[in-house]
Amino acid sequence: MIKIENLSYSYKKKNVFDGLSINFEPGNIYGLLGKNGTGKSTLFRNICGLLKPKKGNITTYGYPSVSRNPSMLSKLFLLPEEFFVPSVYVKDFVGTLAPFYPRFSQEEFKKHISDFDVPYDNKLDQMSLGQKKKTLIAFSLATNTELLLMDEPTNGLDIVSKTQFKNVMSGSINENKCIIISTHQVKDIENLIGRISVIDNGSILFNESISSIGKKISFIHSSTVSNSPKTIYAEQTISGFSEVLINDSGLESKVDLEMLYKAVMLKPEEINKLFNA
């Protein structure tokens, strides 16, 4: 679906990617994680063809991304972190933009809008930031595009809306669809994503499915630190200690995304050794 081979990209003075390679397959919700400025948004823009790689290739549905081909663009929807909404009523927005997406469903849009409690008769630019975002999330899901790129989708949403977001998203994935969510709010996408990819220093540091992670790593929270040789990473929290350990029980554990991310960033050798063994 999306094939990124040896991608190199740099802004004027800053090198962002250096030989990054990754494939994104349908049927998955990917969580794209990384420090600030590691290039998560830049990767999205490269996938959409909004930026041109200095080296390497990106193909989306077989089209080179840089072509910004209408067939390709009608199969993907990007919800950027800083988004734009025109000064139109929701029904006009949908009425004039939806025809570009052949599989757009009005019913689904109305359902999502209703789930999000967004008023349908309002003007987009007169809504609150959260309402605008929820309208765009509802629109993006109703387009039924095969690829959905969401950059920090929960920024600006209140606590209830974040729960609504999780509920709406969990019902939207199917075997033909690929959703990539880039976020710092890992708690917001917990139990939602099926695969996690971490970018660091211009390349993919970690790329595994949640089930594979659960089988190889376990996460514990206790009042004392275990000091076990299986411990990969541990940190003190308000209520005690959180640890990331090698899971040799054979049982799949529940993945703590925040701890996993810290372990990947701070103990990359141990993590890579474990997963590449």
Partner 1 sequence: MNDTLSLSRLSLLIKNHLAENRQRYLLYAFGILAIAFIVYILIFCVNNFRPYYFEIEDGVVTNPNNTTEWEVIQFVTYFSGLFIFGGIFACISFVNFSNSAEAIFYLNKPASHLEKWLTEIVVRVVFLFFAYTLLFYLIDIPATFLARGLEYAGHLENLRDASFEEIGVVKVFHPSKIFYFYLPEIPDSIIYFLLISGYLSIVAFFMYGAVLFNRFSFFKTLFLAFVVGMVYFFYGISFVDSDILMPGEWRYSFPDRAEMNEQMISNGFRDEYSGFRTSLGPGFLSVVFYFLMIFVPSFLLLCSYFKLKEKEV
Q: How far is the CB of 133 from partner 1 (least distance, A)?
A: 12
Q: Which is nearer to partner 1, 71 or 174 (CB)?
A: 71
Q: How far is the CB of 138 from partner 1 (least distance, A)?
A: 16
CA 38 to each of CA 44, 187, 188, 219, 253: distance values in angstroms, whole numbers, following the listed order: 12, 20, 20, 26, 29
Q: Which is nearer to partner 1, 14 or 230 (CB)?
A: 14
Who contacts 242 (Cβ-Cβ below 8 Å, separation ≥6)?
Answer: 219, 220, 221, 234, 235, 256, 259
Q: For 253, how many CA atoms within 13 A lie in the half-sphere containing its CB?
A: 20
Q: How far is the CB of 66 from partner 1 (least distance, A)?
A: 9
Cross-strand partners of 30 = 180, 195
Q: How far is the CB of 151 from partner 1 (least distance, A)?
A: 10
**Inter-axis angle of helices 90-97 and 129-142, to 10 degrees?**
30
Q: Which is nearer to partner 1, 157 or 192 (CB)?
A: 157
Q: How many CB atoms lie within 10 A of CB 82?
A: 8
Taking Cα atoms as reference points, which of 166, 177, 155, 133 lies closest to residue 29? Answer: 177
Q: Which is nearer to partner 1, 71 or 128 (CB)?
A: 71
Q: Which residues bind partner 1 (CB under 8 A)?
A: 45, 48, 50-52, 68-71, 73-74, 77-78, 80, 82-84, 86-88, 92, 95-97, 99-101
In whole angstroms, give the CA distance from residue 257 to residue 194: 11
Q: Which is nearer to partner 1, 88 or 274 (CB)?
A: 88
Phi, psi of 200 (to 5 degrees): -155, 140
Q: Which is nearer to partner 1, 48 or 196 (CB)?
A: 48
